Amino acid sequence: MIVVVGLSHRTAPLEVRERLVAGADALPAVLARLAGREELGEVMFLSTCNRVEVVALVNGEPLLESGLAAIREELARQGGAANGDQLAPYLYEKRGDEAVRHVFRVAASLDSMVLGEPQILGQVKDAYDAAVAAGALRGTLMRCVSRAFAVAKRVRTETAIGAGTVSISSVAVDLARRIFADLDERVVLLLGAGEMAEAAARSLGKGARALRICNRSFDRAASLARDMQAAAVPWEGLEAELAQADVVVASTASARPVVTRDMVKRAMKARKGRSLLFVDIAVPRNVEPEAHAIDNVYVFNIDDLEQEVARGMKARHAELDAAEAIVADDVAQFLVWTRGLEVQPTVVAMRGKTRAVLLSELDRSLSGRLRHLTEGDRAALTQMVESAVNKLLHGPTTRLKARAADGDDAGELAAAVRFLFDLEEAAAAQKAARAEGENARDDDDDRLPN
């Protein structure tokens, strides 16, 4: 059974999540400890700023509770907790169908803080690669996570879940492009050094001709400029900078506007009317609202930007039902495949035992009363036995696989077949099939598209 145990931005505050993060250096040891537990056949450890999860394949129903306990212990150890009770209020556990659905939704960014953000898919792929490299992912769970990648691609291409601007940075870039079409020959001025404004300036600066930073503390401006490959300018030169800049991202801690209407009016005269965009993220505002009335001057404050973000999120949420339908469809297909794995060892054992009994009886006859038969006759009889096995067991095999596909009582039927045919060896084969599910090659395997 596939299980998920973890916490996310929905269940735990940042100060709890950050304690459990496993960096690249620590990850191999974490995977080794988890994979070394006899209860767990396969494991993957997903660690991001918004979630820490262990996805695992438990080695059979009797080991389920102890397998979940093993995962909780490792998470507590990773978080430096004296015992699991400290972490328990923040953890969620998902089992079976619910766990598969969760893995698919996470990869498709349907459980992210920002719906439709693309980063999570790359993070899941990194976790997958690390688990494969550690030898902790190889069979059924590997197939599950691989399928999650395909689900994420379907959601991204068949819906508009990733459309719309949903961050202040992306809105700032979008506004700049609406006004200037492109930023290749534009100058971006960062006024102040607020974290959100810095992020917006970084995004704008990627396509701009130049990025300049003006801050009351020149040392802070110079330090930030080195980090952002920009130029630092003194605070006293602000008005002159307005005459040169095309986009100004403002975020100072000033209690009153640092850019007045009169300053902008003088700057526009020096600019000979060239458009000037202000992205004012500060609260209180850094740019006098009256500046917006000047020809070719555009002033957007934090409320304007948040309205743009809200529109983008609304557009994404409108696509959520379509995305969830894709997830549900792929979960159903994956579960058909896994249920096929559950009955396949029984089918193989039933056919193998029947064939062995009939061929043994044939060999006895060919060694006794029928020993006078030619090689051709012997081959014909052997082929007759093979054909009889196929025809005799076609109905039971087909019905058992059909029940597995429907998710009804296939497990009970398989157990009954093992009892009636005395197929004790099928139980061992069942466990091996779970561990090496990806290698199982039967007719039902083709039902799950690659």
What does the pLDDT look like over 256-288, one tens digit per residue?
999 999 999 999 999 998 999 999 988 889 999
- At residue 373 the predicted structure's pLDDT band, cuts being 50, 70 and 90, is very high
- Return d(Cα 190, Cα 155) in angstroms, integer: 37
Going by C-alpha positions, the residue among 98, 115, 90, 227 that lies closest to residue 166 is: 115
Top-confidence range, 84-88, 135-139, 425-429: 135-139
Q: Are residues 52 and 172 in the same domain?
A: no
Asked which of 136, 162, 188 is the last residue of a domain, the reply is 162
Within a domain: residue 322? no
CB–CB of 435/59 below 8 Å? yes
- Return d(Cα 14, Cα 217) in angstroms, integer: 30
pLDDT at 131 > cutoff 60: yes
pLDDT for the residue numbered 407: 60
Q: Are residues 260 and 339 in the same domain?
A: no
Tokens 């949420």 belong to 317
Q: Are residues 121 and 44 in the same domain?
A: yes
Lowest mean pLDDT among 175-184, 190-199, 239-248, 310-319: 190-199
pLDDT at 245 > cutoff 60: yes
Within a domain: residue 321? no
Q: Are residues 138 and 256 in the same domain?
A: no
Within a domain: residue 343? yes
The whole-chain average pLDDT of the chain stands at: 87
Lowest mean pLDDT among 46-50, 316-320, 373-377: 46-50
Structure tokens at 92: 């969620």
**Predicted TM-score of the model (pTM):** 0.67
- At residue 449 the predicted structure's pLDDT band, cuts being 50, 70 and 90, is very low
pLDDT for the residue numbered 79: 82
pLDDT at 434 > cutoff 70: no
Structural domain range at position 219? 168-315
pLDDT for the residue numbered 440: 43
Q: How many CA atoms lie within 13 A of 253 on its CB side?
A: 5
Q: Compute the chain's Rg from CA coordinates.
A: 32
Q: Are residues 18 and 125 in the same domain?
A: yes
In terms of pLDDT, which residue wins out, 374 or 410? 374
Specify the CATH number for the domain of residue 133: 3.30.460.30
- Return d(Cα 57, Cα 44) in angstroms, integer: 9
Asked which of 140, 162, 184 is the last residue of a domain, the reply is 162
Asked which of 315, 348, 368 is the last residue of a domain, the reply is 315
Within a domain: residue 419? yes
Give tens-digit pLDDT for 3-34.
999 999 999 988 888 888 887 888 999 999 99
Q: Are residues 77 and 111 in the same domain?
A: yes
- Return d(Cα 188, Cα 197) in angstroms, integer: 12
Name the 3-class secondary structure at 4. Answer: strand
Q: Are residues 251 and 265 in the same domain?
A: yes
For the segment 129-153, the average pLDDT, to the nearest whole number, is 95
Q: Are residues 172 and 158 in the same domain?
A: no
Q: Are residues 195 and 92 in the same domain?
A: no
pLDDT at 445 > cutoff 60: no
CA 276 to chain centre: 40
Going by C-alpha positions, the residue among 161, 42, 163 that lies closest to residue 111 is: 161
Give tens-digit pLDDT for 68-96.
999 999 999 988 765 567 889 999 999 99
What is the amino acid identity at position 405? A
Within a domain: residue 336? yes
Q: Are residues 114 and 185 in the same domain?
A: no
- Return d(Cα 277, Cα 109) in angstroms, integer: 33
CA 298 to chain centre: 39
144 is catalytic: no
Tokens 């993220």 belong to 281
Domain count, the chain: 3
What is the amino acid identity at position 403? R
Within a domain: residue 320? no
Within a domain: residue 423? yes
The residue from 14, 26, 29, 49 that is catalytic is 49
- At residue 366 the predicted structure's pLDDT band, cuts being 50, 70 and 90, is very high
Q: Are residues 278 and 348 in the same domain?
A: no
Return the percentage of the chain with pLDDT > 90, whole number: 57
Q: How many CA atoms lie within 13 A of 315 on its CB side?
A: 14
Lowest mean pLDDT among 55-64, 357-366, 424-433: 424-433
pLDDT at 103 > cutoff 90: yes
- Return d(Cα 161, Cα 422) in angstroms, integer: 53
Which residue(s) pair with 56 in the sheet?
Answer: 3, 43
Q: Are residues 96 and 31 in the same domain?
A: yes
Specify the CATH number for the domain of residue 238: 3.40.50.720
What is the number of other CB atoms lying within 10 angstroms of the CB of residue 409?
12
